[in-house]
Structure 1
Amino acid sequence: MMTSVDSFDSRPIGIFDSGVGGISVANAIRQCMPNEQLIYVADTINAPYGEKSDEFIYQRMAYISQRLLQHDVKAIVVACNTATTAAIARLRSEFNLPIIGVEPGIKPAVLATKTGVIGVLATPRTLKTPAFANLTQRFSGQAKVLLQPCPDLVLQIETLAFASKTMDSSLNSYIKPLLNQGADTLVLGCTHYNFIAKQIAVKAGPEVTIIRTEMAVAKCLQQKLYMESKLSTEHPLGQAVFITSGDPLLFKQQVNALWQVKADLANLEIKSL
């Protein structure tokens, strides 16, 4: 792990998503940089972003970023594929601090495939954005990219319905067509899907590679903070604060189920946006 020996920046890192999917990214950030302070915002009242316009998504991104800046964050992670593809370029033009986004792992999937066919599981909204179209076009000559919209998975994950018959049926309906067309690599194009990656892997079988990007995002953030001498050098476990625009009691249940750091859960702090 990289450390900066000549600087010290204990300011928090801001992370946000429309719901709880970005907690998977926060988990990866905590794993890479356990002594960093984290502030996670779930814009639950407006989830999922897939049903919203680009302008609406940007306005929420800007509002949440302003609120995070009131907490003096040193960087912001847009832990949502839909928000990243919809408006991260505009957000970066308006705010003067490191802003890291997430995008489907098309490049590593192209490198991993042996059949030359990859499948992308994502929300319908993400698959329709110009940013995603540009991403897939860059690699269209290297592999066949199959797009599979999954309109109901985010809400099932938000309600923690991992073991439901509906979840099982949905996964079957989304994964089998991709495998039937020769896909040997599946890209998880939504941060929510990281929480069902094992279930997807079981459905797909041992010969299929599952591409997740949360750890790549965490390492990108770590490298950016290192280059700008903004890494914290404190050794104690950093504090994590969770904020929601929705029901705080429901959000606490979600965080308890999805946040991997039990030491944080002992003093779990849920705030309202």
Structure 2
Amino acid sequence: MDLSNNAIGILDSGVGGFSVLLELRKKLPQSTIHYIGDSAWCPYGNKPAEQIQKRAFAVCEELIKMGANTIVVACNSATIHAVEALRARYPLTFVGMEPAVKPASKITRTGTIGVLATEASIAGEKFHQLVDTHIYPNDLKVITQPCPEFVTLVEEGTLSGPSVESAVAKYALPMVEAGADTLVLGCTHYPFLSPTIRKIVGDSVQLIDTGEAVARRTASLNPYHSGTGGISIHTTGNLACLERLFPILCPELSASLHNIDITT
């Protein structure tokens, strides 16, 4: 394991973790970053917990080979079902994602919070612990909604237009109509749809995602900011799709793009 360059690894089910990558690059412009998107298995959100954990182990093995000694699990589903097992197995620093229920509980005015997330995230024990800790004791209400179409749209590079507006109206509007004034974007793919979500739900509804907070936490654990500043992106899916999507989702970044085969 190469610990000399303080490289950061990012694990995601696909390209959603680019929303975290963008925030991380702002905080750590000099760090070397290796990103693996497991697009061949995307989405994780509808997979069994055991399968998610197995893939997370396999992806992390590759990131470690690349020299990562801090790994950001930029996927809520993988965090919920695998991050504790990863911490138990590897002597590395892991930074996970979780739906921003705690900050939402502090800013809601109506007392009703909507959580847009994947099936796996909503079903996970970590999510229920968040609700038990921050919702029920404060006499708040949480409404959850799986949004499988959101991940598909982002993986296709469709960030606006009628299909996105239709999906947002289907998933988010019922929450707002039920009194939610704060919506948690509980998947790293979802921030890429924020402009359309904002358009549909209106300016009075607050949107929260955790990308910036996760980047800030990662930066605090990497005070040396060492490396070349290079970014390498690897996909288990179609390289041509990655080459098309990366400039759409991360127009301000440059990176080397690669295929990677990960078998489990």
TM-score by length of 1: 0.90
Q: 1:2-57 deviations in whole A, cap 9, x for unaligned?
A: xxxxxx96332100101000011011100111111111100010000122111111
Q: How does 1:76-225 map to 2 (within 5 A)?
A: 76-139=71-134, 140-142=136-138, 143-225=140-222
Q: What is the DSSP-based 3-state SS (H/G/I as helix, E as strand, rest coil) of the residue aligned with 1:115?
A: coil
Structure 1 counterpart of 2:257, which letter? E
Conserved? CA contact 2:32–2:226, under 8 Å: no
Cα deviation digits, residues 91-132 of structure 1 (max 9, x gap): 110011100010010011011111111110111221111111
Percent identical among aligned pairs is: 34
Say yes or no: does 1:25 pair with 2:16. no
- 2:241 aligned partner: 250
Q: Distance in 2 between matches of 1:12 and 1:259?
A: 20
Structure 1: how far apart are the matches of 2:259 and 2:146?
33
Contact 1:28–1:214, Cα closer than 8 Å, also in 2: yes
* CA distance in 2 between partners of 1:109 and 1:163 (Å): 25
1:184–1:208 CA contact under 8 A, matched in 2: yes
In structure 1, C-alpha distance between the alignment counterparts of 2:113 and 2:159, rounded to whole Å: 25
For residue 112 of structure 2, what is the amino acid of its counterpart?
Answer: V
SS at match of 2:157: coil
- Partners of 1:45 and 1:246 within 8 A in 2: yes
Letter in 2 for 1:254: L
Q: Secondary structure at the match of 1:40?
A: strand
Counterpart in the other structure of 1:4: none
- Secondary structure, counterpart of 2:68 in structure 1: coil
Q: Distance in 2 between matches of 1:257 and 1:166?
A: 18
2:9 aligns with: 14
Amino acid at match of 1:149: P
CA distance in 2, matches of 1:92, 1:121: 27
Q: Is the contact between residue 75 and residue 97 of structure 2 (CA under 8 Å) also seen in structure 1?
A: yes
Distance 2:164 2:198 in 1: 14
Structure 2 equivalent of residue 54 of structure 1? 49
Residue 253 of structure 1 aligns with an amino acid whose one-letter code is R
- What residue is the counterpart of 1:232 in the other structure? 225
Structure 2 residue runs of 5 or longer lacking an equivalent are: none
Paired position in structure 2 for 1:3:
none
Distance (Å, rounded) in 2 between the aligned partners of 1:14 and 1:260: 20
* RMSD, matched Cα: 1.6
Unaligned runs of 5+ residues in structure 1 are 1-7
